[in-house]
Amino acid sequence: MSLQDKYREVTNLAENLGIANLQVREQDNVLYIDGIANSAADKDKLWDAYNKIDPEYRSADVVMNIEVIEKVSREYTVENGDSLSKIGKTYGVSWQDIYEANKDIIKNPDLIEVGWKLKIPTV
Q: SS3 sequence, 32-94?
A: EEEEEECCHHHHHHHHHHHHHHCCCCCCCCEEEEEEECCCCEEEEECCCCCCHHHHHHHHCCC
Strands lying side by side in the sheet with 20-27: 20-27, 30-37, 62-68
**Pairing, β 73-77 against β 30-37:** unpaired
Which is nearest to 50 in space by CA: 82, 105, 7, 95?
A: 7
Q: For 2-36, write each residue's pLDDT tens digit.
A: 999 999 999 999 999 999 999 999 999 999 999 99
pTM, two decimals, is 0.59
Q: For 39-96, write each residue's pLDDT tens digit.
A: 788 999 999 999 999 988 788 899 999 998 866 678 999 999 999 999 999 989 999 9
- CATH number attached to the domain at 3-68: 3.30.460.10
Residue 75: count other Cβ atoms within 10 Å of its Cβ. Answer: 8
Is 73-121 in CATH node 3.10.350.10?
yes
Q: Where exactly are the structural domains of the chain?
A: 3-68, 73-121
